[in-house]
Amino acid sequence: MRKRSAKPPSRSKGRRHRAKKEQGPAAAAAVRRGEPVAADRGAVAAQPGQYVYCIIKAETPRGFGKIGIGAEPTEVYTIHYRNLAAVVSNAPPEILDSTRDNVLGHERVNETVMRDFTVIPMSFGTVFKTREDIVELLRSASDAFGEVLHKMQDKLEFGLKVLWDRDQAISRIEAEDENISRLKQELSTQRGPTYFARMQYGRLVDAALQTRSERYVARILEELRDVSVASRMNKPIGDKMIMNAAFLIARDRERAFDSKIKAVASKLDHLMFKYTGPWPPYNFVNIRLKLERV
């Protein structure tokens, strides 16, 4: 997967950008299970079985090479029910914790498959005991899988994080907001206790930061509306991040989305734009499966 970092962003094929490659969204369940088959994302039980990466639409068997998860990469292939297929490999004998390497290995398979197929990604650690169990999954959820695959046809997910320098943002607010500027001046010259004045100052600054960040987010969403199918807002991480979003993009609009991100980042050059992708549509698929524990 490519990672872009923008101030403004640059995109060059095969070249890593400034920040290290982030662990992608595969750690979050795309197909959510009521009862896990073997184990949830923490670890995969050390027992024989079939590790499932994603669901695709395919009527004939496909092989993707020895790229399966585990210490020794295994063959990745398909198991079919009618026109649906699960992309699987033999489950590795060792316990698979959700380490960065293992999750990236899971994503590596999905990345390979999605070059040629629309995928419904399964969450990390999805193991079925037998081939017949996978066929039963495809059969029992065939309508739901078919509907989602139709909706996600030729669509990709991109992640966008926008960060700011909080101290710089506060300086801008102090320079532009008369009430906050005046209160700061009073605090600098006031003698005696200043506790309540500082509390008031802090509340005003926090409110102004919230308003300003919401304004930036609204503007960015509006700018990207024409080049995206849908968006989903996730909770920002830390006090520097003001936007943590996922965008669903038509495959043939990827270049337009890339160009628009660069244009927006150039206009808002005091913000830091970081975006990743393309990913399978992790944030836009939510199928709940009731499966019995083996």
Q: Which pLDDT value is given to residue 26? A: 46
Question: What is the DSSP code (8-state) at residue 173?
Answer: H
| CB contact at 8 A, 94 and 119 | no
Residue 138 pLDDT greater than 50, yes or no:
yes
Residue 245 pLDDT greater than 70, yes or no:
yes
User: What is the tens place of the pLDDT at every residue in 104-119?
Assistant: 999 999 999 999 999 9
Q: Which pLDDT value is given to residue 289? A: 59
SS3 content of the chain, % helix, strand, coil (to 5): 40, 25, 35
Q: How far is the C-alpha of 103 from the C-alpha of 110, rounded, in Å?
A: 11
Tokens of 240: 């520097």
Please list the residues that pair with 156 across neighbouring strands: 249
Q: Which pLDDT value is given to residue 208? A: 86
- Which range (45-54, 102-111, 113-122, 232-241) has the least confidence? 45-54
CA 93 remoteness from chain centre: 29
Whether omega before 278 lies within 30 degrees of 0, making that bond cis, reads yes
Residue 45 pLDDT greater than 60, yes or no:
no
Q: Which pLDDT value is given to residue 46? A: 46
Average pLDDT (42-59) is 76
Residues belonging to the chain = 294
DSSP 187-233: HHH--S--HHHHHHHHHHHHHHHHHHHHHHHHHHHHHHGGG-SEEEE
Contacts of residue 229, Cβ cutoff 8 Å, sequence gap at least 6: 155, 248, 249, 250
**Residue 96 pLDDT class (50, 70, 90 cuts):** confident
CATH match for 158-279 among 2.20.28, 3.90.1460, 3.40.1560, 3.30.70: 3.30.70
Average pLDDT (86-92) is 91
Tell me the CA distances in angstroms from 114 to 15, 54, 89, 262, 271, one per residue in order.
Answer: 21, 10, 16, 25, 32
- Which range (25-39, 63-77, 188-202) has the least confidence? 25-39
Every domain range in the chain assigned CATH 3.30.70: 158-279
| CB contact at 8 A, 278 and 224 | no
Phi, psi values for residue 234, rounded to 5°: -110, 165
pTM given for the model: 0.75
| CB contact at 8 A, 95 and 46 | yes
Q: CA triplet 262, 284, 25: central angle to 5 degrees?
A: 70
Share of the chain above pLDDT 70, in %: 76
Q: How far is the C-alpha of 160 from the C-alpha of 140, rounded, in Å?
A: 35
Average pLDDT (23-47) is 43
Tell me the CA distances in angstroms from 279 to 49, 164, 243, one per residue in order.
Answer: 26, 25, 18
